[in-house]
Structures are given as C-alpha cells and as structure tokens.
Amino acid sequence: MLASRAVFKSKLVRGVRLSRARYHDFAQSKFFRVSEEVRDAVATGKPVVSLETTIYTHGFPYPDNIALAALLESAVRANGGVPATIGIVGGVAKVGLNAEEMIELASTAEKKSALKVSRRDLGYICGLGLAGKKLHGGTTISGTMILSELAGIKIFGTGGLGGVHRGGENSMDISADLTELGRTPVTVISSGCKSFLDIPRTLEYLETEGVCVGTFADGREGPVDFPAFYTRESGIRSPKVIQNEAEAAAIVYAQSKLPLSSGIHFANPVPLEYSIPKADMDSVIEEAVRLADVEGYHGSDNTPFVLSKIKELSGGKSVVANRALIESNAKRATLVAVELAKLEQ
Ligand code: PSU
Ligand code: MN
C-alpha cells in the first residue's frame, strides 16, 4: 500500500517536472509569447478560455472574421472569463492576441496567405520565422490545444471538431485534432463534428485515444445524440451525458488529478432556435463532399474546401447557425472555466 503510494507520487512529481521543464524551454524561446493579461489571469487562478484562429484564417472572410473574433472575446468577458485567442503572427506563437495582431492575422483570409497550423506545422512555422520568413498561421484545434497547455490554459471553446473523414478507412484522413485530444490535457468545447465527417468512426477513434466525450443535456432525460454541428441530432448516441457546467468542471478537475495526459471533449449542441433540420443539410453536405473529391481537395485542404462549399450551397444559411453556435460554445466554455476556477481555489 505504502509502496504503491510512493510510486504513484513519484510518477506525478516526474510528470510535473517534465511539463515545467518543457514550458520553461519554450516560454523562454523567441517562438512563444503569452500576453500579460493572460499570464496574470493564469497565475492568479482566473477563468481563462482559449479560442482558435483557423476559423478566421480559413473559415470566415475578412472583415467578418474580425467581427466574429470580437464577438467571441466579448462573450467570454461577459461571462466572467479572460479570452486567450491563439495564433501564429510573424513566426511567433502567441497566446492572447491583441487587436493589431488579430487584424494582421484575420486580414490574410482575403489572400488565403496564412498557414493552417496543427501539431505537425508548429516547428516548421516557428523555425522559418527564426530563419527570416515571418509567416502567419491560424491554429487548428490541435495547434491551439498544444499552445493552450504550454500557457497553462485548460478550457478551450470553438465551433466544430475535426474527425475521421468519410472513406477515412481507405484514405486515412483522420484529423490531428483526435490524436491531440489523446495526448494533451485540454478540454475542448464544440458543437460536435459536421456530418461531412464519419461520426461513428470519429467516436470510435476518440475512444481508442482515451478521450472522454460527453454531450450537454441541459435537463434532457436519458440518452442524447452526439451533435452534428448545425443539427442537434446525428442519430448517434453520445458516449457520455453531462447536465451542466458544474458537472463538466468536476470531470475536468478529477481528470487533472489523475496521472493522465489525455484531453476531454464536451459537445454543446447548437442552440435550438438555430438548429437546421438534418435532412436540409444532408444533401448540401453530400454535394460538397462530392465536389471536393472531383476537384481533388485532399489532406489539410479538404476541410476548408468542404466548409466553403457548404456555405455557398446553403445560401449562407449555415453561416448564421455557425456564428450562433460558436458564440454559445464560447459562453459555455467560460462557464465551465468559472466552475473549474472555484474547484481549484
Ligand atoms: N470543423 C468545422 N469548422 C472548422 C474546423 C473544423 O466545422 O473551422 C477547423 C478547426 O480548426 C479544426 C480543423 O481543428 O478545421 C480540422 O482540420 P482537419 O480536418 O484538416 O484536421
Ligand atoms: Mn485531414
């Protein structure tokens, strides 16, 4: 009993030492900068919420993306949190972008000149910055999770999760978001994944990666569906159900006390009044996926292409739902961070 407790303790201590050393190395480097506000909020235990930037560089056009960024940051503040928008500006990974950096990054959407940065791209873009090529990058869920962890941020709100693509059993197109959730202890709150992805295989993959996946039920009894972004129903049952932010925060807190490094995904269904009937979206999505295949959009170009076709083919209807659900996720993430801060006091 005593021996096993000693082993348990030593593993935890080693884990903490390792992550501190890593944090120190990168934090001291030229590649990483955390804003003063975010650094102070993390150090004093305030609720902080990460926000990603691929949605601005590869999702929404300029200047709509700036308006969305401002909307999300104010949703976080209005609910008692500190926003930390994360992205790569001039080859430097930044946590807590200021207004000028936000405009600098978001304005690349016009020319599509920023990189889409997930785990594999971080060393590349920072290294080229050192070599004199000052590139900009929008961080995906995967990239944003890594930088969140380094900054000490545990909660991250966004629109939709990447997943296993349809036909992924052959193409092996599986978003790096899923493996990241398996290895980085950050909680991602999104509206599930779009049904252009293979939702059952996505959930299988997350299970293999050891990721806790729960959907907010808000008083609904019994099993609930894992949501499909624009639609609250996917026909696929959520592995776990959580009722509210207090339950979500308790799970995050308990998991942080276990010797695990995996993340958590909480799905927040699109607000009822914005949910688009599944049948309406299905035909649009089928066509978008078909066009991506015909026009040869594979790899990291696939998701942005399919998303832009969905927008076009739905006549902009999807954009209204998209904006509403992201705002609702930013709010939900903040309320979870507020509850978590109470537990950590
Ligand atoms: N799904 C959406 N909207 C998005 C994305 C996914 O509904 O904006 C973005 C996110 O940044 C996500 C990334 O992390 O795309 C996943 O890209 P890929 O499928 O190439 O891994
Ligand atoms: Mn992919």
Ligand 1 centroid distance, CA of 342 (Å): 31
Ligand 2 centroid distance, CA of 176 (Å): 7
Dump pLDDT digits (tens) for 156-176.
Answer: 999 999 999 999 999 999 999
CA distance 173 to 319: 25
**What is the pTM for the complete model shown?**
0.93
**Complex ipTM value:** 0.98
Residue 52 annotated among the catalytic residues of the structure: yes
- Residue of 94, 116, 154, 194 marked catalytic: 194
Count other Cβ atoms within 10 Å, centred on residue 284: 21
Q: What is the mean pLDDT of residues 115-130?
A: 97
For the four alpha carbons of 117, 120, 126 and 130, in that order, the dihedral sign comes to negative
Backbone phi, then psi, for 158, in 5-degree steps? -155, -175
CA distance 264 to 225: 17
Percent of the chain with pLDDT over 70: 92
Ligand 1 contacts (CB < 6 A) are 52, 54-55, 59, 140-141, 159-160, 162, 175-177, 194, 229, 300, 303, 307
Dump pLDDT digits (tens) for 189-234.
Answer: 999 999 899 999 999 999 999 999 999 999 999 999 999 999 999 9
What is the reported pLDDT for 24? 64
- Tell me the best of 164, 166, 177, 189 to mutate to test the pocket of ligand 1, counting ligand atoms within 8 Å of each CB and taking the most: 177
Ligand 1 atom at shortest distance from the alpha carbon of 162: 16
Ligand 2 centroid distance, CA of 181 (Å): 15
CA distance 107 to 101: 10
Burial of 120 by CB count in 10 Å (0-12 exposed, 13-18 middle, 19+ buried)?
exposed
CA distance 181 to 192: 14
Ligand 1 atom at shortest distance from the alpha carbon of 197: 19
- Tell me the best of 173, 297, 303 to mutate to test the pocket of ligand 1, counting ligand atoms within 8 Å of each CB and taking the most: 303
Dump pLDDT digits (tens) for 52-79.
Answer: 999 999 999 999 999 999 999 999 999 9
User: CA separation (Å) from 173 to 182, 184, 197, 284, 286?
Assistant: 17, 20, 10, 21, 17
Residue 287 annotated among the catalytic residues of the structure: no
pLDDT at 113 over 90: yes
| Contact by Cβ (8 Å): 65, 112 | no
Per-residue buried b or exposed e for 191-229, using 16+ beta carbons within 10 Å of the residue's own CB: bbbbbbbbbebbbebbeeeebbbbbbbeeeeeebbbbbb
- Residue of 52, 101, 149, 327 marked catalytic: 52
Ligand 1 centroid distance, CA of 223 (Å): 27
Q: Is residue 87 helix, strand or coil?
A: strand
